[in-house]
Chains A and B, each alone.
Chain A
């Protein structure tokens, strides 16, 4: 138990700037189930745990894959950890509609493998897929690499089963595409990071797996070319566009320097920006023709300086590894301050440039992200955590984002890290309403305290 505690504390400590003291932690693991009868008994387990904790005013923190980036799943003081990891069964899958029902502890990559056998894919994909769990994905409204094509979880999640703070089980686990009967409460649990209830089951709509996937890695000379390329891609590639990611030259250098086996496909020249485009369609030859025509046209219009088109699945994975490996490379490079913002596309890169000039030689500032969704992942890489550097970054980054009416957390959520900063992106009235809902659903404030809502409101 103590070793697990230490692991939980240290693992989190590396991502975050805080080193928290945990005096007593009880980790409850819910064992695996084989039959439906047993299944129902588990929801009773979560329900009983919460009912008891609520009666004793014991705080609870739900945990899934522990891949969150804002401290949302970490105990702050004396919370009881409720780990959903053992609830990892796939309950049902309808091959006609593509609707999957599974438990919250299923690891995303495992669900993807299961669906692959059936000829379907998950509507979301992220770098943490090997560890993150679907319950956590839903609770944080995870975005990921394919949002530009399949939309957000608010659209793809058809139903949720959640347990409230007082142990009440809300069975909203429908497998219907359309259901306009009353208030659609499941949306309260999508993105509320475990502060309104613990998600125990999810029903999700999965798209069919299409056979023709093409990936291209392109080099652009400046950010405005990346932007124009996005506009052109949305028009010329239209319905087959499935991912549009960007990374700057500094990100590429970081990956090639720190990640084993990663090499820059444009080894002979250095470029300022790279764009990764993926198309997914049903007809290999027509998709390839469309993509080639778009790329050659963009080259003639000087939107692209150079580009490579993957000729097989292996090459495609190599390109993706460059983009998905940036987080890993950052960890290897030392300490990192991570920010995830949504800003109008024209201004997106300005934040990186301003941060770079603010910090100068003290840090390596890199920018990359889901350009297709206007989402920038700003990362400041330093050799060691340093309060002086942090003071240069915050609150500047939040103020800057707020001025552009952007979001201080596009997809990572608010967790512990940004709870007090929520006002940069939400009005006081809105936050007050959030607090009222919290008070209604969790009057004793036992669910994931100190997270999501500012301490000034919840204390």
Chain B
């Protein structure tokens, strides 16, 4: 069985984000870019499934400008077998990613599609759900545990939901999106970095796949959240009630 994993190139999680002065977006020039943390977890899970003998191949997919190849190389260095780069210079909104993924799935025919639950740059949390809908595949999102049964062709997924943990049983092929507690991703070791250099990366464009990625969303403005105001010390309960009533207007 093949597993397909999407990996997104985003601003590194540890970087202090700054909004561009023209408010059209955030500063990405000279800023460190890395693989989306949830995508790392998704790839790690795919690798573990392959290592346990339940899958034969892990294919990493990334969509965006030419630098996405760096992200794919990281994925290959972690242990993915092949990479696919869909080259596009426009913003990749979740619906377009989902449509392109559908086409790639038709070509590659994987038994499992694993994605990060969301990207840390847009926090959309939509792609996994959308592609499952387009493919008409079952989905297990916010996975904190995944157990595969090859014989029955079923995946048992523990999901982290507000009420606790929900366990679902999905028939394969299925879509899984990963949450933080699923696993701890491995490091890229030197021997694997060396092997990654000879692993193939196939290129596609949205046009070749017959997907129209003209955006139907327009970003109007990007601003910083309002700065947190400092707290106020009150000297008595009466003063607290007074402030809650007349200043905060909450009682």
- Name A residues whose Cβ lies closer than 8 Å to a Cβ of B: 116, 211-213, 218, 265, 284-285, 292, 295-296, 299, 304, 306-315, 317
Chain A: which residue is nearest B10 at the CB level?
A312
Do the beta carbons of B190 and A296 come within 8 Å of each other? Answer: yes
Q: A317 to B12: give the CA distance in the assembly, Å.
A: 13
Interface flags, B91-118, vs A, CB<8A=1, else 0: 0000000000000000000000000000
Do the beta carbons of B74 and A311 come within 8 Å of each other? Answer: yes
Give the residues in chain A near B194, CB-CB below 8 Å: 296, 299
Give the residues in chain B near A308, CB-CB below 8 Å: 187-190
Q: A315 to B40: give the CA distance in the assembly, Å.
A: 12
Beyond the given A218-B190, A304-B190, A311-B34, please list 8 additional residue pairs across the A-B interface where CB-CB is below 8 A: A211-B32, A306-B189, A309-B77, A309-B190, A311-B74, A312-B37, A313-B32, A315-B187
Q: How many A-B residue pairs have CB under 8 A?
A: 61
Q: Does B161 contact A (CB under 8 A)?
A: no
Query: Which B residues, 1 to 34, have Cβ-Cβ distances below 8 Å to chain A?
Result: 12-16, 30-32, 34
Do the beta carbons of A309 and B32 come within 8 Å of each other? Answer: no
Chain B: which residue is nearest A116 at the CB level?
B16
Give the residues in chain B near A317, CB-CB below 8 Å: 14
- Which of A285, A299, A304 lies in contact with B70, CB distance below 8 A? A285
Total B residues in contact with A, Cβ cutoff 8 Å:
22
Min CB gap A126→B, angstroms? 20
Give the residues in chain A near B189, CB-CB below 8 Å: 306-308
Min CB gap B163→A, angstroms? 29
- Which of A285, A307, A314 lies in contact with B14, CB distance below 8 A? A314
Q: A292 to B193: give the CA distance in the assembly, Å.
A: 8
- Which of B31, B35, B190, B191 lies in contact with A312, CB distance below 8 A? B35
Min CB gap A384→B, angstroms? 36
Given contacts A211-B30, A295-B190, A299-B190, contact A311 B15 (CB under 8 A): no
Do the beta carbons of A306 and B191 come within 8 Å of each other? Answer: yes
Q: A310 to B37: give the CA distance in the assembly, Å.
A: 13
Chain A: which residue is nearest B30 at the CB level?
A211
Given contacts A292-B193, A296-B194, A299-B194, contact A311 B187 (CB under 8 A): yes
Query: Which B residues, 58 to 105, have Cβ-Cβ distances below 8 Å to chain A?
Result: 70, 74, 77
Chain B: which residue is nearest A308 at the CB level?
B187
Give the residues in chain A near B77, CB-CB below 8 Å: 309, 311
Do the beta carbons of A312 and B193 come within 8 Å of each other? Answer: no
Give the residues in chain B near A295, CB-CB below 8 Å: 190, 193
Min CB gap B41→A, angstroms? 13
- Which of B12, B13, B37, B193 lies in contact with A309, CB distance below 8 A? B193
Q: List 28 A-B contacts (CB under 8 A).
A: A211-B30, A211-B31, A211-B32, A212-B32, A218-B190, A292-B193, A295-B193, A296-B190, A299-B190, A299-B191, A299-B194, A306-B189, A306-B190, A308-B188, A308-B190, A309-B190, A310-B187, A311-B34, A311-B40, A311-B187, A312-B12, A312-B13, A312-B14, A312-B32, A312-B35, A314-B14, A314-B37, A315-B187
Give the residues in chain A near B31, CB-CB below 8 Å: 211
- Which of B12, B30, B190, B191 lies in contact with A313, CB distance below 8 A? B12
Q: A311 to B12: give the CA distance in the assembly, Å.
A: 10
Do the beta carbons of B188 and A309 come within 8 Å of each other? Answer: yes
Min CB gap B105→A, angstroms? 27
Among B32, B74, B190, the most chain A Cβ lie within 10 Å of the Cβ of B190
Give the residues in chain A near B37, CB-CB below 8 Å: 312, 314
Min CB gap A217→B, angstroms? 8
Give the residues in chain A near B32, CB-CB below 8 Å: 211-213, 284, 312-313
Do the beta carbons of A265 and B190 come within 8 Å of each other? Answer: no
Give the residues in chain A near B14, CB-CB below 8 Å: 312-314, 317
Give the residues in chain B near A211, CB-CB below 8 Å: 30-32
Min CB gap A28→B, angstroms? 29
Q: Which 6 A-B pairs have the closest CB atoms?
A: A312-B34, A313-B14, A308-B187, A307-B190, A211-B30, A313-B12
Give the residues in chain B near A311, CB-CB below 8 Å: 34-35, 40, 74, 77, 187-188
Chain B: which residue is nearest A216 at the CB level?
B190
